[in-house]
Chains A and B, each alone.
Chain A
Amino acid sequence: MNSTVKHLVDPNDFTVEEINQVIDLGLKIHKNPASYARLCEGKILGTLFYEPSTRTRLSFESAMLRLGGKVLGFSDANTSAVKKGESLADTIRVLDDYCDALVMRHPMEGAPKLASEYATVPVINGGDGGHQHPTQTLTDLITIKHFKGHIGSLKIAICGDLLFGRTVHSLLKTLSRFENISFYLISPPELKIPKHLKDYLLDAYKVSITEFTDLEDCIEEADILYMTRIQKERFLNEEEYMRLKDSYILTRDKLSDAKPELMVMHPLPRVNEIHYDVDGDPRAKYFDQAAFGVYVRMALISILLEVADHA
């Protein structure tokens, strides 16, 4: 194990300063991608996808290719040698000689952390079960910084499944580390933020949290509206579902009460929680968000490979 290698397994592996460094570099790359096009020449990023996630994998591959680097890996554990019951430690010990950094997507929680203990190159968590997905969080943050100019002093409404949503938990924990953040959390009663997480955020970061069941009750106030998927099966109570289902579908109509400078975000893919009629509204930023995912991953890879200063 090489303890001087920097990994991104958990958003907390990076200080707020380091997060800002990644985001600021990502924004610079976005402005002038040509100057970074050869930054990772001669480097290889290994993409170890133990479960398919086309979006995340292509976003990483695009990031590495745009930096002039190369990628190799697998996109499904069934088609790869790893299926034969090899321990993760053995796989990593072999593959880290083939690559300069590794991205791992794994259905088992904690797998990237385990991998980082054996890897001699940086490991990036590309999502581990219901646990963490730190590059999604970086994607959310760079999008906010691009459109708002800053990450602190914002009223952020988050709507949907706040109980199980890993994207949401990671975002809440990371945003809370920035200054003066207020959260409006909108969810059906069964899908409220877990109590331990709420207590932790209040206790550790003194953020302000207000909970709602109807989106209409706080949309006027929000600077950001972060929508997430919510599945009918998650509701325990059919009546509650019938009462609330429309409340969680964002339409252009509902946006009429919102601030003109509101940002509507979504980690994508969406199911029906944002009506297509919102797409044409200038406040819809979810496709920009997906694009920024590539820039922030470019920045992250450059920093972890320690080539960021060579541009």
Chain B
Amino acid sequence: MLKVTGIQKGIVIDHIAKGNGIKIFEKLRLSQVDYPVVLLINVSSQKLGQKDIIKIQDNVDIDFTMLGLIDPKATVNIIEDEKIVSKQSLEIPREVTGLFQCKNPRCVTSVDDYAVPKFTRVENGKIQYRCNYCEELTEYKL
């Protein structure tokens, strides 16, 4: 097995569903940062068969809302002195601001550059968000 050393201080996003690692990597713009980041894919896992892992050194300030939206089953471990100091479970966010566009082309947020799309989740078993402005439902997809 490929060996990757543990990190001293930072975040480990574990139990990412196979295939979601690269999506999270891209959405969190981890290719543009200047601190060390490791993306591991297809790691064998007892729970998931195969999983992806992201390790971020030195930074703990990432967008958890975005993470919850992409892969709510992933786990987040905050590391200090090479030890896990806290574990955070993710939730599908109830409120989302600016992470995706309203699907309604007639929505004011689709044309006004200054307007940031805002959504509230609809409890209907799907991951659907109601636009706070035009009330259209948008299904979140990557």
Q: Do A and B bind each other?
A: yes
A interface, CB within 8 angstroms of B: 87-90, 106-111, 113-114, 128-131
Residues on B close to A: CB < 8 A? 104, 106-115, 131-136
Distance of A10 from chain B, by nearest CB (Å): 8
Across-interface contacts of A88 in B (CB, < 8 A):
108, 112, 114-115
Q: Are A109 and B106 closer than 8 Å at their CB atoms? A: yes
Pick the residue among A87, A110, A114 that contacts B113 (CB under 8 A).
A87
Q: Which of A87, A106, A110, A131 has the most CB of B within 10 A?
A: A110
| Residues B114 and A110 in contact, CB atoms below 8 Å apart | no
The answer to whether A113 and B106 touch across the interface, beta carbons within 8 angstroms, is no
Given contacts A87-B112, A110-B133, 11 further A-B contacts (CB under 8 A): A87-B115, A88-B108, A89-B114, A108-B106, A108-B107, A108-B108, A109-B106, A109-B133, A109-B135, A128-B134, A131-B135
In the bound assembly, the distance between CA atoms of A108 and B105 in angstroms comes to 9
Establish whether residues A130 and B106, one from each chain, have CB atoms under 8 Å apart when the complex forms: yes
Nearest chain A residue, comparing its CB with the CB of B132: A113
Smallest distance from the beta carbon of B138 to chain A beta carbons, Å? 13
Residues of A near B108 (CB, < 8 A) are 88, 106, 108-111, 113-114, 128
Roughly how many angstroms separate A110 CA and B116 CA in the complex, as a whole number?
12
SS class, residues of chain B in contact with chain A: loop
Task: Report whether A109 and B114 are in contact in the complex, using a CB–CB cutoff of 8 Å.
Answer: no
Alpha-carbon distance A240/B110, docked complex (angstroms): 37
The binding surface of chain A is classed by DSSP as mixed
B residues within 8 A CB of A89? 112, 114-115
Measured between beta carbons, the chain B residues less than 8 angstroms from A129 are 106, 134
**Least Cβ–Cβ distance between A93 and chain B, in angstroms:** 11
- Point out which of B111, B114, B132 has the most chain A C-beta atoms below 10 A from its C-beta: B114
B112 touches A109 (CB 8 A): no
Could you say which residues of chain A place their CB within 8 Å of the CB of B104? Answer: 109
Counting chain B CB atoms within 10 Å of each CB, the highest count among A87, A106, A129, A131 belongs to A131
- Give the contacting residue for B111; candidates A108, A113, A128, A131; CB below 8 A: A108
A53 to B135 CA separation, bound complex (whole angstroms): 23
Given contacts A113-B132, A113-B133, contact A107 B115 (CB under 8 A): no
User: Contacts of B131 on A, CB cut-off 8 Å?
Assistant: 110
Cα of A286 to Cα of B70 in the assembled complex, Å: 52
Q: List 26 A-B contacts (CB under 8 A).
A: A88-B108, A88-B115, A89-B112, A89-B114, A89-B115, A90-B114, A107-B106, A108-B106, A108-B111, A109-B104, A109-B107, A109-B108, A109-B133, A109-B135, A110-B132, A111-B108, A111-B133, A113-B108, A113-B132, A113-B133, A114-B108, A114-B112, A129-B134, A130-B106, A131-B134, A131-B135
A residues near B136, Cβ cutoff 8 Å: 109
- A87 closest partner in B (C-beta): B114
* Complex: A128 Cα to B111 Cα, angstroms: 14
Identity of the chain B residue whose Cβ is nearest the Cβ of A108 in the assembled complex: B108
Name the one of B112, B114, B135 contacting A108, with C-beta atoms under 8 angstroms.
B112
Q: Which residues of A contact B109 (CB under 8 A)?
A: 110, 114
A131 and B134 CA atoms in complex are apart in Å by: 7
10 closest cross-chain pairs (CB), A and B: A110-B133, A87-B114, A109-B134, A110-B134, A108-B108, A110-B108, A111-B108, A89-B114, A113-B133, A129-B106
Name B133's closest neighbour in chain A (CB-CB): A110
Q: Smallest CB–CB gap between A293 and chain B, Å?
A: 24
Residues of A within 8 A of B112 (CB): 87-89, 108, 111, 114
Closest to B111 in A: A108
A130 to chain B, nearest CB (A): 7
Distance of A109 Cα from B108 Cα, bound (Å): 6
